[in-house]
Amino acid sequence: MDDSRIIRTEYSEEMQKAYIDYAMSVIIARALPDVRDGLKPVQRRVLYDMYELGIRFDRPYRKSARIVGDTMGKYHPHGDSSIYDSLVVMSQDFKKGLALIDGHGNFGNIEGDGAAAMRYTEARLQKVTQEAFLGDLDKDVVDFIPNFDETEKEPSVLPVRIPNFLVNGSEGIAVGMTTSTPPHNLCEVIDAMKAYMQNETITTAELMRYLKGPDFPTGGIVTNKDELHEIYETGTGRIRIRGKVAFESVKGGRTNVVITEIPYTMIGTGIARFLSDVAALVETKKTQDVVDISNQSSKEGIRIVIELKKDADAENFVNLLYKKTRLEDTFGVNMLAICDGRPETMGLKQVLKANVDFQYQIATRKYTNLLERELERREIQEGLIKACNVIDLIIEILRGSRDRAMAKACLVEGKTDGIRFQSKESRIMAEQLMFTEKQANAILEMRLYKLIGLEIEALINEHEETMANIYRYEDILERRDSMAQVIINELDEYKKEYGRKRRTVIENAEEAVYREKEVEETDVCVLMDRFGYIRAIDTATYERNKETADLENRFVFCCKNTGKVCAFTDTGQLYTVRVSDIPFGRFRDKGTPLDNISSYNSGKEQIVCLTSQTELNLRQVAFVTAQSMVKLVDGGEFDVSRRAVAATKLAEGDRVVSVETLSEQRYLILQTKEGFFLKFSLEEIPEKKKGAVGVRGMKLGPKDEVEKVYYTMVLDNTSVEYKGRNLVLNDLKNGRRDTKGTKIRTP
């Protein structure tokens, strides 16, 4: 290989340069809209391709696949899915404030169902798109640039006559930046633009007298009106939106909650997620007011019906929906767009300024072009009128000339050489003719029927009309006020024809407050069997079945129905569960696995202690691990708000064997697998924090570990059976902590 072709460079610098080039390509040429027309490149190319194909609003629909294929082949070589997705979104009136494409067929719906394949659907331009987005393309109002392979030309920006960046909004993800602009009401945007044109020193607050805030196609309620000024001043912020709810009274004195409008962020799969979230509130007993929920939405609009129980507080339930579901959500605003070739976050006034400047540029180029056309027409018209006055002489010149060039030279330069005239006077008059090139060509191409009297009169009237147009165009180009009035008149026409009433309500709403129903405090008994199924029964039922309950269940204790249950596991975790979340029923009911109502995983850990939060708060808690680490912890440390926390710290490979709440116990007895017993006073165990490992309780052999733990009181005759031998625990010799203990001999 020729060494002269090898470029030596720093790897990190090359990577940095390459990545920056890639990032800018994504930002400029794919992800972000241009503030002037509010369109991303793929959207602009789809609309221009439809314009080129002649798929106008008053012509038949064409297959979407035809549009996608033509766009991809000519202008956008990035795959058909991105092109079709863009076409679909521009046709969905529930996503866009102003739909730009008229779709025919299945173009998806607000509930998230996708559009049919492009081979099945058809499309054409909307009337507003043809008039306000593409109407002046033939007047050289924007620059055209080469396409990707330089075989076609495409507009660098469309000559959009309304602030589409605000009307339709935009969402996109680039490299290191995102854009998110909400849609707005066309009438309000036009009014704000007119206000800016009439007073360029206007403030954002004054502009918001015209543009109240976002106007989402799905309606809803914006609840933070006072924060909108800061959002439109800076171009960033968060808009809080709620769905619109109505109450319907039904038979039996019950009330139905009917959701008629949803937040804009709930479009698509958000509706199904909302339904499942409401069902989850019922399953987790966050509410017990729901009888049924159904989605009755149709083409006429959104209608989600939630049937409530007879005595339910409907307004309080709606507040629960606002707090726990996406019926109240936030829309993050970041008004980022391409301005003067670079990405820039802009406030409302900056966006309007960019659009107004663009309108003046379009108007200047448009009327300059129109003026040139009218001046050319005037030149030709004046030549034809002059020719009609000397038509006999011109006919004589034409009859006496050998060819077109000779006749034209006579008309333009007065050359009469070679031309046969009927008289000397005609030759003298011909030598005085001074038509221009264009006038001469028009005269030579003029048909004889133009010499009819009515045609000559029409020519004169047309000339007068041309002169009026020239005067008007010159006035528009010379006086900024005149041009501004023309732009404002056009904006008023679009507002009148395509404007609609605001859908989104803007107000200051208080934060939703959900009041949980006060439950009458009573005593209940919590039972957990050896399979991990937990349930609660009333204390009277427990007293009647006390012996059976104590025999059949691993954990049994009484507590208040408003309290919490604490479960300690062998992995050192603590799980808390509200008693109200535990199934309450009859004595023989099966209950539910603790896994279902907490983060506990029975497949990876085992419960070593189950007790009430109230009991813990009043006691010390003793921890013993398999590696004989012991400690005491104040039970108040386990009064936590989180549903899962670490209850103790464990060494690697260790596990918790016992967790015990202490009251009158005085001695601790540790039993190991190899038959060693050690009894010592609880006073030898120091009190530690829950995050501590603890101290060693007894010395263990190389493969030995603590198997069982017992607690006794003074004068306690409790006995246990060990390998066929009955041991009275208090008869064991008192030892000291951190000793080996005594090995019990077996028969």
Domain for residue 59, yes or no? no
Q: What is the CA radius of gyration of the chain?
A: 43
Which of 273, 303, 326 delimits the end of a domain?
326
Specify the DSSP element, H or E, that contains 498.
helix 480-498
Catalytic residues: 120
Residue with tokens 């090995």: 743
Q: Are 280 and 391 in the same domain?
A: no
Q: Is residue 672 part of a domain?
A: yes
Q: Give domain status of residue 43, yes or no.
A: no
Within 13 Å and on the Cβ side, how many CA atoms surround 55?
A: 24
Judge if 446 and 396 occupy the same domain.
yes
Q: Are 648 and 593 in contact (CB under 8 A)?
A: no
Distance CA 309, CA 478 (A): 72
Q: Is 393 part of any domain?
A: yes
pLDDT of 632 reads 94
User: Residue holding tokens 């790897």?
Assistant: 11
Q: What is the CATH number of the domain that holds 302?
A: 3.30.1360.40
Three-class DSSP category at 28: helix
Q: Quick one: how far is CA 208 from the chain centroid? A: 24
Question: What are the b/e assignments for 436-467, b being 16+ CB within 10 Å?
Answer: eeebbbbbeebeeeeeeeeebeeeeeebeebe
The distance in angstroms from the start CA to the end CA of the chain is: 90
Residue 714 falls inside a structural domain: yes
∠ CA 605-608-611, nearest 5°, is: 120
Angstrom distance (rounded) from CA 594 to CA 588: 17
Domain total in the chain: 4
SS3 of 525-594: the string is EEEEECCCEEEEEEHHHHHHCHHHHHHHEEEEEEEECCCEEEEEECCCEEEEEEHHHCCECCCCCCCEEH
Residue 544 contacts residue 531 (beta carbons within 8 Å)? no
Same domain for 263 and 299, yes or no, is yes
CA 742-739-714 angle, to 5 degrees, is 70
**Contact 611/558 with Cβ under 8 angstroms?**
no
pLDDT at 479: 92
Whether 381 is covered by a domain: the verdict is yes
Same-domain status, 446 and 527 = no
Domain end residue (candidates: 556, 587, 618): 618
Is residue 146 within 8 Å of residue 132, measured between CB atoms? no
H or E segment to which residue 112 belongs:
none
* 421 and 365 in a common domain: yes
Residue 634 in any domain: the answer is no
Per 3-state DSSP, the chain is made up of helix, strand and coil in percentages (nearest 5) of: 40, 25, 35
Residues 6+ apart with CB under 8 A from 622: 630, 631, 632, 658, 659, 660, 661, 662, 668, 682, 685, 711
* Residue 588 located in a structural domain: yes
Contact 237, 333 (CB under 8 A): yes
Provide the domain limits for residue 610: 519-618
Whether 241 and 331 have beta carbons less than 8 Å apart is answered as yes
For 105, 139, 353, 669, 742, the CA distances from 49, given in Å and listed in that order, are 20, 18, 29, 87, 93
pLDDT score for 641: 86
β-strand partners of 261: 244
Residues 482, 365: one domain?
yes
The HSE-up count of residue 733 (CA atoms within 13 Å, CB side) is 9
The answer on 314 and 414 residing in a single domain is no
Low-confidence ranges of the chain (pLDDT < 70): 1-4, 21, 23-29, 448-454, 514, 516-519, 746-747
589, 618, 647 - which closes a domain: 618
CA dist., res. 92 & res. 124, Å (int): 13
Residues in the chain: 747
Question: Is the pTM here over 0.85, yes or no?
Answer: no
- Strand boundaries in 647-744, DSSP class E: 656-662, 667-672, 676-681, 695-696, 706-712, 719-722, 725-728, 742-743
| Tokens 């333009």 sit on residue | 412
Same structural domain, 383 and 442: yes
Sheet of strand 523-529, all strands in order from the earlier edge strand to the far edge: 553-560, 523-529, 533-538, 592-593
Bridge partners of residue 452, in order along the sequence = none
> Residues 566, 598: one domain?
yes
- Judge if 486 and 393 occupy the same domain: yes
In a shared domain, residues 365 and 492: yes
Same domain, 290 and 394: no
Strand 553-560 with 523-529, pairing: antiparallel
State the DSSP string of 400-431.
H-SSHHHHHHHHHH---TT---SSHHHHHHHH
